[in-house]
């Protein structure tokens, strides 16, 4: 493949926590305007990989390229400015703000801003995003008043507030009904049509295979398979990893 079309490239990325190797010599690329599924059993190292890419902490070893620039170890706010945004598996909203304010505040790098200081166009944009992720009816409620499916969409709305080129989504389907999964999946497809590149984590491969263009599978921090969804579904190595082999 032509490397110039890679949005993101990990080369031999390893992340250790003491004696635990959470990500082990992992290399893969994310292509322009694709939805890449990033799957593996619980504890495989998926969220840790996102944490390295999004600047929560640097990898212990290896290199991360964003559009051919070495961004290894760059802080999160720099990466957000470059166009990388992510959602968290454990929600991190501001609990004393409304849903709308949470989305609005995600647009400014300095979260210490008071709401009244913000320009009107950030409010307009927050409303657009609220509608985009289907949260209009919850706009004036606080996060605690929002049901689980809405909280997952709030995470996405907050990530979209930074206008990402590359959106990393950590377990967006956890605990959702199949109808709710389809709603989120169609949002991801429409973002892709508008030019966003997405990486979507799921620990359960079947929910994801209908959505994604390509799949990378990891187990115990290592890549064990990569390919088209149909190849992955039938791959005995993947099936073995999921059976606890
Ligand atoms: P996944 O998202 O695939 O379920 P994680 O990336 O969360 O897996 O975790 C991979 C491994 O790294 C696990 O063994 C987990 O306990 C460990 N781990 C993750 N984050 C930390 C951390 N901050 N400190 C120590 N160990 C961690
Ligand atoms: Mg995880």
Ligand 1, atom 26: closest residue by C-alpha: 17
Ligand 1, atom 7: closest residue by C-alpha: 47
pLDDT over 60 (residue 118): no
Q: What's the 225 CA to ligand 1 centre distance in angstroms? A: 20
Give the atom of ligand 1 at the shortest distance from the alpha carbon of 221.
10
Residues of the chain with CATH 3.40.50.300: 1-83+166-172+196-245
pLDDT-derived band of residue 97, with 50, 70 and 90 as boundaries? Answer: very high
CB of 47 within 6 A of ligand 1: the answer is yes
Q: How far apart (Å, rounded) are the C-alpha atoms in residues 241 and 217?
A: 10
Residue 148 burial (CB count, 10 A): 12
Query: Structure pTM?
Result: 0.93
Q: Are 135 and 183 in contact (CB under 8 A)?
A: no
pLDDT over 70 (residue 245): no
Please name which ligand lies nearest the alpha carbon of 174: 2
In 3D, which of 170, 171, 133, 132 has the Cα closest to residue 150? 133
Range 105-129 average pLDDT: 70
Tell me how far the alpha carbon of residue 177 is from its chain's centroid. Answer: 20
**Beta-bridge mates of residue 6:** 31
pLDDT above 70 as % of the chain:
92
CB of 20 within 6 A of ligand 1: the answer is yes
- Structure tokens belonging to residue 29: 């690329």
- DSSP assignment of 205-233: HHHHTTT-SEEEEEETTEEEEEE-HHHHH
In sequence order, which ranges of 133-235 are alpha helices (DSSP H)?
148-160, 178-193, 205-208, 229-233
Range 107-112 average pLDDT: 54
CATH assignment, 1-83+166-172+196-245? 3.40.50.300
1 class by beta-carbon count within 10 Å (0-12 exposed, 13-18 middle, 19+ buried): exposed
HSE (side-chain half, CA atoms, 13 Å) at 196: 23
Among 49-53, 123-127, 137-141, which stretch is predicted with the lowest mean pLDDT? 123-127
ipTM confidence: 0.99
């Amino acid at each position: 493949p032509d490397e110039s079309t890679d949005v993101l490239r990990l080369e031999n990325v390893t992340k250790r926590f003491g004696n635990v190797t959470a990500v082990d010599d992992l290399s893969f690329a994310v292509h322009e305007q694709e939805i890449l599924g990033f799957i593996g059993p619980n504890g495989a190292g998926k969220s840790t990989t996102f944490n390295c890419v999004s600047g929560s902490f640097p990898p212990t070893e290896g290199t991360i390229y964003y559009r051919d620039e070495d961004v290894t170890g760059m802080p999160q706010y720099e990466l957000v400015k470059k166009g990388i945004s992510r959602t968290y598996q454990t929600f991190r909203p501001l609990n004393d703000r409304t849903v709308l304010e949470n989305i609005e505040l995600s647009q400014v790098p300095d979260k210490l801003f008071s709401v009244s200081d913000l320009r009107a166009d950030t409010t307009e944009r927050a409303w657009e995003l609220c509608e985009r992720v289907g949260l209009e009816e919850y706009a004036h409620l606080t996060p605690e008043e929002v049901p689980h499916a809405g909280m997952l969409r709030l995470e996405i709305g907050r990530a979209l507030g930074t206008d990402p080129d590359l959106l990393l989504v950590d377990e967006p389907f956890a605990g959702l009904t199949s109808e709710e999964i389809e709603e989120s999946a169609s949002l991801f497809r429409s973002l892709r049509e508008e030019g966003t590149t997405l990486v979507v984590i799921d620990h359960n491969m079947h929910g994801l295979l209908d959505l994604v263009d390509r799949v990378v599978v990891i187990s115990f921090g290592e890549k064990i398979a990569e390919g088209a969804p149909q190849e992955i579904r039938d791959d005995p190595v993947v099936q073995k990893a999921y059976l606890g082999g």
